[in-house]
Amino acid sequence: MDAIIYIIVGITNGLFSSGAGQILVFYLIYILKQDTVKSREFSLIVMPIISIVTFILYCFKSNINFVQLIIFVIISIILGFVGSKIMSKINSNILNLFSGVLLVIITAFSLWRLK
């Protein structure tokens, strides 16, 4: 079962470049009954590795603005550090609620754009 979830996470990240971390966190929290904060930390360790591999593969097929990429990476690292400090202080139920609401909003927006 774990291997199937990991395959789904990898394929989702490769196809959509988003959502795979949410699938992994959902699996760890609700199926394996892991601690919410530990599950999110695990996802934050695994997802960059998958994303780097996906990025390298897309580099050969796309025209990427590397200056814009570097600026984005620097800002993301700084805000990722801030977010991880805040996450460790928030109740896990609030984290799950926020994550779920954010996922619903992103899904609704994506469906709205399909029109």
pLDDT given for residue 2 in this prediction: 77
The per-residue pLDDT for range 25-40, each reduced to its tens digit, is 888 888 888 888 888 8
Supply the pLDDT for residue 69: 81
Average pLDDT estimate for 2-18? 73
Determine the average pLDDT of the residues in 39-48: 83
Q: What is the pLDDT of residue 68?
A: 87
Averaged confidence pLDDT in the chain? 81
- pLDDT by residue (tens digit) across 64-83? 788 888 898 899 889 888 88
Predicted local confidence at residue 17, as pLDDT? 62
Task: Kindly tell me the burial class for residue 92, based on how many C-beta atoms sit within 10 Å of its own C-beta (0-12, 13-18, 19 or more).
Answer: middle
What is the per-residue pLDDT for 16?
Answer: 66
Residue 32, helix vs strand vs coil: coil
pTM greater than the 0.75 cutoff: no
Q: What is the rounded CA–CA span in Å between residue 96 and residue 36?
A: 8
pLDDT above 90 coverage of the chain, percent: 2
Measured distance CA(89)–CA(110) in Å, rounded: 31
Strand extents, DSSP E, 1-115? none
